[in-house]
Amino acid sequence: MEFSGICIMTDDAPRLVEFYKTVFQIEPFVEGSHYDFGKIAIYDPGDVEVVKTKNIWLQCFTVDIDALYERLLQEIPGVEIITPPQRRPWGAYSFQFADPDGNKIAVAQQDNYQEE
């Protein structure tokens, strides 16, 4: 078995899609109320009760944490920043934020990160 991605269930797919389009700077593949960004999909099946307490974080990497952080602050007014960029005790330079449904996203800078 190979992990291929996640699907975020929501009661407001258009709102989350606009958020993730800004975050990832890509357009999703759209089929009805299902939006696919590759490894992350957004779906509104029509009967989801969005809860605020989440047990999973999305983990992303970037080559320039500070530039990404500043871009998100400018392009997503009111974005919920959980922690600003900082060096973690284990050595990672990262920040954390949340999407409009409260799903948490951690972004770490990886010096040898290469896009696939």
Q: Quick check: 113 pLDDT over 70?
A: no
Which whole-number Å values give the CA distances from 104 to 30, 53, 59, 114, in the listed order? Answer: 23, 10, 9, 23
Q: What is the mean pLDDT of residues 8-37?
A: 94
pLDDT value, residue 115: 46
Alpha-carbon span 1 to 38, nearest angstrom: 18
Q: What is the mean pLDDT of residues 91-101?
A: 94
Q: Quick check: 7 pLDDT over 70?
A: yes
Cβ atoms 35, 17 nearer than 8 A: yes
pLDDT value, residue 91: 86
Q: Quick check: 116 pLDDT over 70?
A: no
CA atoms within 13 A on the CB side of 5: 10
